[in-house]
Structures are given as structure tokens and as C-alpha cells.
Chain A
Amino acid sequence: MATTTALPPTATFRVWRGEGAQAGFQDYTTPISDGMVVLDAVHGIQADQAHDLACRWNCKAGKCGSCSAEIDGKPRLMCMTRLNQLDLTKPVTVEPMRAFPHVRDLVTDVSWNYRVKQRIQKFTPRSPDAPDGTWRMQQADIDRVQEFRKCIECFLCQDTCHVLRDHMKHEEFIGPRFLTYVAALEMHPLDTADRTAELKQADGIGYCNITKCCTTVCPEGIHITDNAIIPLKERVADRFYDPLKALVRLVRGTPAK
């Protein structure tokens, strides 16, 4: 049966409130109970003490990627962070993601992510395998792509990546979420488009120095760095920096995918 660690009757949450230069931390002490997650505490505070406390959420089950925040300094989903995993002897800090422009309280403007995705060459399938317009794919050939497609677009990896968070290279670098997205397209057995050139230029894959911070925070456990980014980097290296392969390509006349 379930194990329960006894929780204290109340806990204090240090929540980022307000907007612009006026924003700052505010402490709220609220009743807590077994099994609660940070999002429950935030809702409790909203219902009883701060009706206008702004936060995003939808599914409350780690499926929609809406409730991303920084809890005690770590990028996490509020709905999947159990209170018994936190040190409640001191106030728990709850802050918005820092790699994106702040809107109000726990809400940030993540619209940049949507613009980035739109720029990436779309899925372009080969012609169907069967006369009825369908394709055949083996499960073994799609396991990797399915791993990437588990992404719930919480943007926590983007929030963590130092290239975006510290160096603010939003114009030059698409970030781990969208490198994973490109990987899902590139490794899709049906896709015929070639995104290698855009990876190098527009997507700025070179900025990634494989620190793996993104992989650590991904709530879906996607092996972003090892399974998506490194293989993409290899493709770029093969294409642009391997003279032998470049020659072969020249002779064959078609870019290898």
C-alpha cells in the first residue's frame, strides 16, 4: 500500500507576485495534507488569500505541460511536484520560468516557442507504400521518434538551457525542445525533407555544448541530449565538416539524409 510521510499541518510558500519592476516574493502560509502537490498549494492560496494569483494549469496530471515553474530554484511541473519531496522547514519558493518574458505572477510569455516551431520545415512524407494511400512502418523503427513525441511542450528544458536562460540567444538558437522536434521529424521513417542546413544556421545547433541540463529537467524523461541533439550534431558534422563524405555526396548528387 502507499507509503506516506507525515506532513506538517501548514507550509509556507514564497511566491513571485506582481509584474514588471514591482514584482517580488510574497509569503503565504497555507494548510497542507497528504499527497498534495505544489499546484494544490497554489490553488489553496488562490482560493483563500490571493484570489488574483495568476498561474497556468490544465490537466493536473503532468500531461499538458502548462504549469511549469521554478520550485526551490528547480524548473519543474507544479502539478507533479509532491510536497513530501520538498524541504518544508523553510519557505518553498515558487517562481515563473526565467528564460521568457514575465507577464504576471507565475505566468510568462512563451509565445517565442510557438514562433520558433512555425519556422521549422514541416513534415513531408514520402508517397504512400500501399495503393490505399497508407504506409508501413515497423515498431522498431518508430520507437525513437515516439520517445521525442512524448514531449508535452512544458518548455522547462528551454528554461534550463544556459544558451537561452543566461545568454539570451533566442534569435540564434531554437533550444532543446525544438532540437528534439527537428530530431523527431528527421528520424521519422516517412519524412523526406532535409533540415541539416537549417540546423546549422537558423537553428544554431552549434550553440549547444552538451551540458545535458535539459535532459535532467525533462518531466517526460526524454533523452534530449543523447538521443536527439548528439545524433543531429553528427549529421551536421558529417555534412559540413567531413570532406570525404562531402565528396561522396557530390559524386552521388543527392544529399544523404
Chain B
Amino acid sequence: MASFESHEHDVLIIGAGGAGLRAAIEAAASGVRVGLVCKSLLGKAHTVMAEGGAAAAMGHVDDRDNWKVHFADTMRGGQYVNNARMAELHAKEAPDRIRELEAWGAVFDRTPDGRILQRNFGGHRYPRLAHVGDRTGLEMIRTLQDHAIHLGIDVHMEVTVIALLKDGARVVGAFAYDRERGRFRVFRARAIVLATGGVGRAFSITSNSWEYTADGQTLAYNAGAALQDMEFVQFHPTGMVWPPSVKGILVTEGVRGEGGVLRNKEGKRFMFGDIPANYKSQTADNEEEGWRYTQGDKNARRPPELLTRDHVARCIMREVRAGRGSPHGGVFLDISWIKERLPNGAEHIRKKLPSMYHQFKQLADIDITKEPMEVGPTTHYIMGGIRVDADSQMTDVPGLFAAGECAVGLHGANRLGGNSLSDLLVFGRRAGKYAAEFAKQQVPGRIDAAEVDGIAKRSLECFERGADGEGPYHVQHDLQTMMQDHVGIVRKESEMQEALVKLIALRKRAEKAGAVGNREYNPAWHTAMDLGNLITISEAITRSAIDRKESRGGHFRDDFPEKDPAAARFNVVVRKGADGAMHLTREPIPPLTKELAQIIEEEK
């Protein structure tokens, strides 16, 4: 018998980023006992790294903004494969969720009349992102954390869930280990919310931390839930490219929102040369107008640097491939030029983009108030994820809910910047609310001791192999390189088929990886256990990407470079079959309601 600690909660929330914390707050407020687990310390989840802001149509800077415009922007950005109901709920509820943060102590930047200031961001028609300089995620996670600690929530820090436990069809618990001592824990719960974030660690160039190993997606998949839209991975156009050790670290879109421009090595603002037809009417056709837009001129249209991320990333790739890139294989992003326009430009940059200033100064010896940055695409976000009901966030598995980056629906084929932070708040709250309601109606489930034993035993096998097994970091590294090369920003059938073959070999290596040392705070062991998740999700991404024979949003196929209108009518869904293999289906997207269709038409 494996020994383990037992804990019991009505609602167990896995993940303490924005989505998990917001869910925990809501569930606790409804009077149920809430447990919150996270792999890192509290307040260190990915949300802390978000920079630019949270999108909500409050209309503080431009009163023409409202939920309908936000909804239409989100759908257009997602290229109409979004879940329209989620986009509607998100656009309607985000303003209240932001205001609520202020009531909990958040201190957003202000407008001259003392309200929450909003900034421009790619794909948003009006200035819409509530922000705090370029550290909005920190403000958000700290506010939620500081509010949550007074609500009687049981927090289990540095605890990693490796399996969900079911009683029949229903989820009733989770199996985990604590990092510090390597001891096992079994959590009994009447409802579980997954809020585990993304999958960036499947790629080599990424803005994501070690935590992003696709745990939630894999837990849900193994428990029988459907994953959808996994081919839609967002490659953010601007990651650092030099020095090598910081490759992939994010450069916020806020730089462009504040007037930063992209140039190739010839000094040309290449984005003016390629403006997609469906954005033409909203995009400036000269530099002067673009500048006025960033300075708040309501009659000006946005500069092409603020087109959607998928498009900007591909334009950068094109410049680099055509030999017009910067010395280290990126392009130039210049904010220092605004000194020509603003008398106190340097100070303005430091005030509006303090952490970017800091980051480049310290990590690349570059003063962004004086010289341009070098940037290139980096794996940033996954639009795809666990399929949920739009209103309640429940998955196909009773009692299992999902919210935040690990869930799917809101963003379609491409997420707009700032729509994630608001997503966490809107759907984190909904998941917490409905999980609590569900939990109240349930009797405790039965946990199968033999199953628990089996999981414990399997998780320790890598110790038996010890130094005879391959080092887990090497397997992880090879997986990342393979995915970056074969299923990265530009995709091709033949390369992806090859990726599927390579994944089989990688899985075999992962199953034979060894961990040296003992169970106390042993990252080799943790990495060995993460490998299975990364490989499962890489397979889901690859299979889905092969199936979508067109280019749309974050998914770009060299062999099918155009959009196929017929492909706008379905989502690609994968599930684990009874045979243990991955099964893929195309599922039709339900038609829009009349009201929503009309809004999209009006806002075109």
C-alpha cells in the first residue's frame, strides 16, 4: 500500500493563477470548503508575468466602446471559430470583474478624471486594456491572492496533481505529490476545477515557465474529457532574440501600443506593406495617422503594428527569411523614436514600460529609450484546450470544470492581447460558482485504493531506473526542438507526419527516463513525470494541426496558405478512446444566434 496524506474539500481547485484564484474566491464565497493546489508558491503562477493589461469594454478612454464592439473584435480576432456564447459572456462581464478588483485593492493606472485608464492593444478597436504600467498580471494576481487569503481557503503550495480519480463517470478526487518532501496526497472532492494554464514547454522558444507542461489538459484528457482546437497555438510576434539565454522572453505588445514600430534592417516599416483585407478599413495607411492613434486621437486608425498577433508574427518571419532581419535573426522594435515626438519621451517610456526598460537594460545591455530592441516570434499561448460548457465551465466529465488558459472557446483561432486576463476573471468566477453549486448536490464519491496504489507505483518507477535511465532533461529538450521545428509557426503535412513518428520514439524514451537522488525536492523526478503530459499534448497539437487543412489564426500551413470557408464551420476535437489511443473528430460549430450575428455584421 502506498502511503499518502488525505485531504477533503467540497471544491478542489487545481491551479492558483488568475483563473484558479478567482474560482476559489467565488466558491469560498458561496460557503463550501475550498482547497487550492499549485505547483509553485502562491503568487508565482504565470499570471504574474502578464504585462500589457486586461481587456474590458468600460469605455473610459473612448466612450464609443461597449460589449458589442468587444464581442465583435474577439470573434474577428478568433476568425469565427470561437464559442460565440463565451465571447458574449466575456465581453458583457469583463467590466464588472475589473471593477471588482478595484474593490479588493487593485490600483490601476488612472485617467485624468480619476477612473481606470485603458490602453490600445492589437485587434481591439478602442483603448480597452486596464493596466498598471507593464506589470498588470502582478497587480492582478496579488490582488486576488491578498483577497483570497482571508476567506478560509486551504492552500496547498508546491503540490502537483498527477491524476484525477473517478467514481463511475464522475470525478471525485485527485492524486498529487508535494515537492518539498515528495510525499503523496489524495484529495477527495465533490467538484474539481482545472485552472492549470498552458503548454509552452512543449516548444523550445517560449515565453512560458517550467510550470507550463500541459498538466490540466492531460489530466482532463485522461479522465475522458474532450480537447478542442489544439492546433491553435499562439506565437507572439515579439519575444527577445538575444542574448541566447533569454531567447523567447516576452516583449509586451504594450510597446507597440505606446507607439513602438517594427522595422527591418533596411529601416523600413514593413507592416505597412501587408494589411489583410478584413482589417483594411480599420488600419492606418500612413505613419502619421498611426502615431496619432497611439496618442489617443479618436479619428485616427491603428498602425499596422497593432494588427493581430498571428499576422504580425508571420510578417516578421517573412522579413527574416527574406534576409531583411536583424543581426540575431529577428527584426527591430523601436520605441526610442518617440522622443522625436514627445519632449519627455525617455521618461515617458520608463514610466509606461518600466519592466521592459529594466528587462532589456539588465539582460541585454540595451537602453530602450535610446536604441531599438531585436525581437522575433515566441510560443506564447494556446487557444485550444479542455472543452467546457460556456455558461458553467463544466467539461464532458461530471464534476470536472475548467477555466483560464487550459480551457477552450473564447479565443477561437487567435487570442487578442488582454483577452486572457479578463478571461481568467470572467470564467474563473463562473467555474467557481458552478463547481460550488454542483458540489452541494453531491454525496461523497468512492476512491479506489487499488487505483491510487497503481498511480503511486508508476510515478516512482523512474527512481528504479535511476542513473541507468536517460536524463529527463535531455528527452524534454529533444521534444521541444522537434515540436518547434516540425509543428511550429509554419507547418507542413510531411513535417507533421514525421513529428507523429518521432513522438512515438520520444514516448518510449520518456518511459525509460531515470531520476537520480531521492524524493525530496527533486526536479529530475518532477521533469520525468511531466514528460508524459508534454508528449500527449504534443500529439494532440500535431494531429489537430494535420487535420486542419487551411491557414487560420495561429495555425499556418505552408501547404494550405489560404483560409477555407468550409473549415470555419467546425472545430477539431480529440478524445481518448476506449483503446487508449487518441481519436479525432470534426464537430460542427453551432450557428450564431440572430442577435450575435447581427452585431458581427454591424461591427464589420
Contact = CB atoms under 8 A, between A and B. Distances in A.
Contact of B42 (A114, A136, A188): A114
A30 to B, nearest CB: 13
B44 A35 contact: no
Given A52-B517, A137-B110, A46 B523 contact: yes
A58 B45 CA distance: 8
A118 interface: yes
A183 to B, nearest CB: 13
Interface stretch (A149-157, A201-209, A226-234, A246-254): A149-157
Interface string B222-252: 0000000000000000000011111001100
Contacts, number: 175
A35 B245 CA distance: 6
A152 B366 contact: no
A54 B521 contact: yes
Contacts of B244: 33-36
Contacts of B451: none
A56 interface: yes
A138 B366 CA distance: 33
Chain B contact-residue range equals 35 or more
A128 B45 CA distance: 31
* Best-surrounded residue of A61, A149, A188, A191 (most CB of chain B within 10 A): A61
Interface in B43-102: 43-46, 48-49, 99, 102
B291 to A, nearest CB: 23
Interface stretch (B134-142, B314-322, B421-429): B134-142
A37 B132 contact: no
Interface in B93-119: 99, 102-105, 107, 109-110, 113-115
Contacts of B99: 133-134
A1 B327 CA distance: 10
Q: Tell which of B107, B139, B250 has the most Cβ of chain A within 10 Å.
A: B107
Nearest to A150: B135
A46 B364 contact: no
Contacts of A137: 107, 110, 114
A117 B477 CA distance: 39
Given A35-B243, A62-B362, A136 B516 contact: no
A145 B107 contact: yes
A58 B516 contact: no
B431 interface: no
B474 A37 contact: no
Contact of B517 (A51, A109, A117): A51
Given A37-B245, A66-B40, A136 B113 contact: yes
Interface in B322-371: 327, 354-355, 358-359, 362-366, 371
Interface of B: 40-46, 48-49, 99, 102-105, 107, 109-110, 113-115, 132-133, 135, 138-139, 142, 146-147, 149-150, 157, 180, 209-211, 242-246, 249-250, 327, 354-355, 358-359, 362-366, 371, 471-474, 477, 515-518, 520-525
13 contacts: A35-B363, A40-B245, A60-B209, A63-B138, A103-B180, A103-B520, A103-B521, A114-B149, A114-B157, A117-B146, A134-B102, A135-B114, A149-B138
Given A35-B244, A123-B105, A128-B103, 13 more contacts: A19-B520, A34-B243, A36-B244, A52-B517, A55-B523, A58-B210, A59-B49, A63-B138, A64-B209, A107-B180, A122-B146, A125-B105, A138-B114
The 10 closest A-B pairs by CB, nearest first: A35-B243, A52-B517, A136-B114, A51-B524, A123-B105, A54-B521, A58-B209, A47-B473, A139-B110, A40-B245
